[in-house]
Amino acid sequence: MTENPALYNQLDPATEARVASLLAQMTLTEKIGQLVQNNPYGQFDFADYLAKKQQAEEAGLPFVYPPNLREDLADILRTGRIGSFLNVMDPAVINHCQRLAVEESRLHIPLLFGGDVIHGFRTVFPIPLAESCTWNPTLLEKASRVAAEEASASGIDWIFAPMVDVARDPRWGRIAEGAGEDPFVGMAMARARVRGFQATNLTSGRRIAACPKHYVGYGAAEAGRDYNTTDFSERSLRDIYLPPFKAAFDAGAGTVMSAFNEISGLPATANPLILRTILRDEWDWPGIVLSDYDAVRELIPHGLATDMKDAARQSILAGLDMEMVSEGYTKYLEELISAGEVPQSVVDDAVRRVLRLKIRLGLFENPYLDESLPERIHLQEDFRALALEVAQESMVLLKNENNALSPTTLPLSLQTRIAVIGPLAVNRADLLGCWALVNHPEDVETVLEGLGHYLKADAMTYTRGCPISADDTSGIPAAVAAAQEADVVVLVLGESADMSGEGHSRVQLGLPGRQQDLVDAVAATGKPLVCVLMSGRPLVIPRLAGQVNALLAAWHGGIRAGRAIADILFGAVNPSGKLTASWPRAEGQIPVYYAHKSTGRPSAEAGTKQFAEAFKSVFLDAPNSPLFPFGFGLSYTTFRYAGLQIENPTLGLDDTLIVSARVTNNGDRAGAEVVQLYVRDLVGSVTRPVKELKGFQKISLQPGEAQVVRFEVPVRELGFTGRNMGYTVEPGAFKVWVGTDATGGLEGEFVIG
Ligand code: BGC
């Protein structure tokens, strides 16, 4: 665990005194400069970027973009008109800019360098959705610390993560970046990541501030289409979308990025309820609110602002401190203040927050970067080892049935002759997943290389079968021939990295391209089939799941994914990942999530075949339940749950619910199990979800070993936003379950009196 992570959510008198003295010396132009974040390369031309990227890829050259600094850079920095840059990954450029700001500006205020460090930096870890499937916050804290080590070595002071948006729609490409569908898991992962990022004893000697995002409700985009409208109740805002942000702040986060979306009619960028009432009045949080990319300007197409001046006015008044990329503050704040439309005090408050962070990060004392740091710090052997561990724990075994040769398909025997088939088995770049800005595919171990650690080359063949998404079936006959020669087929299928992430939503979540045709043809051989499925989201794969004997959700698993997959397939590692987002049976079920409401016409329990019950809340053509539920994941051993005990079944508001159960490993392999505790508040003054996760513990058990797992849940954490919109814990009867996923478990009852 991180020792004493920095707490940027707190004020200290010495810093406040320095802030006050600096502020007193600043001109209005200099103040506004501190509220501006931009890049040193001038206007970003996305089409040009893509064209050059493709050229570099085709030529097999490393991709560097863009090459030139903006012409007015020196002038802007000398006059203090920009306070922060984003996504500069070149230490020499960072030092150059910093020197202009620190040595050549009047007040010597250093720049703040922000960057998207979403799942590692040079050492790329699995995508965050995968990381959350470890259910191991301690591990994620370590991974975040490694990201901070590497990013700080490259000069990043401010990490635009964790992404803590609760996401219940797998069509949304950005589900890849977060911790899935559940606020409780989201809170645990948010805390862990903030602590790891804000570690104070980094090798570089520098410090990093976390920036949870996107505040708030971005994951609720209608139809999962990115940037789309969101419209949810204030109760959902408070009970579902806000808690991971609050957890991140309580763990010490002192900045937040506002979201692109509107919330019930008011875009987050200019939304006083979320930016002022909740952050400042209710939570008394002193941190910086940064807009998302160009989001102040986007108030115009949203239809909220008439022009840039109006957009700037509405944003600053709502509580947005720093503007990313668009230039409303730069161009219009001075005028707005002179006209009395924006009080000077609002700008001063925002500037104080920025100066406070720069002081607390130590940038005034230590503005420059040792340019040899990246080479010394990046991609160390222990970082690579941690990336392997996270990849191993993140993968979720969804199916492992018998086949003609053995009672369980996995783990594979070393004597097996394997046909590896599929477009992702030799791929490096896609295993990095979305948002790997420091992109070195050569760091990645492929699946085929991973399998090569276990099998001699002559025990394994490789055939691509088909591309990831292009309409080409010409390779399928060769794949079928290879399958016929083998004992077992390992299909390595799924999505490319650019099918998820920002601006990459999809409506059809089955296997892309002609991959399902490939599976159909190979399945016809009757050979045992193992599928390693890579994706940035839950996929909709009922047909595939029915065809294969074993199915491993491997996500986009980072630089060590290939090895981790091989370790699991051959049983050197027993899988222990569990889903943090439900996998639907059909796109038409979406959103499908475990913590839904009961409705007035609930159907029989999910999972039954009675999905056509008359006039119940059901579909005619599919059950309500997902294909694979939240919390689900198999192991090579089995765990037995028994002996549920509720120590105190009648509780007062200040008590702590104590529940325990005995979990036994009754298989013949050591394994880890995520033991989950859910509750249901049976009757409330407003309706409550049918289940809510309130605790989890990941335990490791040797064969035959048993452990009594004890949960302590403060009754104060069993509340919700009541009728008067305040947080309330209501007396009444509750159910509690302790089990292996969201669908069942040992059941008990307790009462809050
Ligand atoms: C994304 C943010 C990201 C920012 C800066 C935006 O498009 O929504 O998540 O931090 O760009 O790169």
pLDDT tens readout for residues 352-364: 999 999 999 999 9
Report d(CA 546, CA 292) in Å as an integer. 42
392 and 569 in contact (C-beta within 8 Å)?
Answer: no
Please say whether the dihedral angle defined by the alpha carbons of residues 248, 253, 254 and 257, taken in this order, is positive or negative: negative
C-alpha triplet 541, 547, 548: angle, nearest 5°: 95
Containing H/E element for 437?
Answer: none
pTM for the full model?
Answer: 0.97
**222: CB partners within 8 A, 6+ apart:** 228, 229, 230, 231
CB 150 within 8 A of CB 122: yes
| Secondary structure in 3-state letters for 306-342 | CCHHHHHHHHHHHCCCEEECCCHHHHHHHHHHHCCCC
Residue nearest atom 4 of ligand 1, based on CA coordinates? 293
- Which of the following is catalytic: 292, 310, 321, 681? 292
- Residue type for 7, please? L
Atom of ligand 1 nearest to the CA of 161: 10
Q: How far is the centre of ligand 1, averaged over its atoms, from the C-alpha of 89 (Å)?
A: 15
User: What residue owns the CA closest to ligand 1's atom 6?
Assistant: 293
Task: Please give the Cα distance from 8 to 198 (Å, whole number).
Answer: 9
Q: How far is CA 85 from the centre of its chain?
A: 23
What is the pLDDT at residue 60?
A: 85
Angle in degrees, 0-180, between the axes of helices 515-523 and 476-485, rounded to the nearest 10:
30
Question: What are 255's strand-pairing partners?
Answer: 288
CA–CA separation, 47 vs 36, rounded Å?
A: 25
Low-confidence ranges of the chain (pLDDT < 50): 606-607
How far apart, in whole angstroms, are the C-alpha atoms of residue 678 and residue 159?
33
Q: How many residues in the chain? A: 753
CA 28 → CA 79, 335, 564, 666, distances in Å?
A: 12, 11, 55, 70
For ligand 1, say whether the CB of 160 is within 6 Å of any of its atoms. yes
Would you call 443 a catalytic residue per the annotation?
no
The identity of residue 470, as a single letter, is: A
- Rounded-to-integer distance, Cα 503 and Cα 228, Å: 10
What is the structure's pLDDT at 193?
98
From ligand 1's centre to the CA of 696, what distance in Å?
31
- Cα 170 to middle of ligand 1, angstroms: 19
Distance (Å) from CA 214 to ligand 1 centroid = 9
Task: Return d(Cα 663, Cα 643) in angstroms, integer.
Answer: 9
- Evaluate: CB of 227 within 6 angstroms of ligand 1: no
Identify any residues that bridge with 114 across adjacent strands, giving them in sequence order: 86, 158
Tell me what pLDDT residue 607 has: 44
| CA pair distance 192, 682, nearest whole angstrom | 32
Tokens of 592: 């499908």
Query: Is ligand 1 within 6 A of the CB of residue 213?
Result: yes
Coil/strand/helix, residue 85: strand
**Best substitution site from 39, 160, 197, 326 to test ligand 1's pocket, by max atoms within 8 Å of Cβ?**
160
Neighbouring-strand partners of residue 418: 460, 488
Nearest ligand 1 atom to alpha carbon 213: 9
Please tell me the distance from the alpha carbon of residue 532 to that of residue 688, in angstroms, as a whole number: 37
Pairing of strands 488-494, 529-534: parallel
274 vs 215: CA distance, rounded Å: 8
Confidence (pLDDT) at 136: 98
- For residue 611, the model assigns a pLDDT of 57
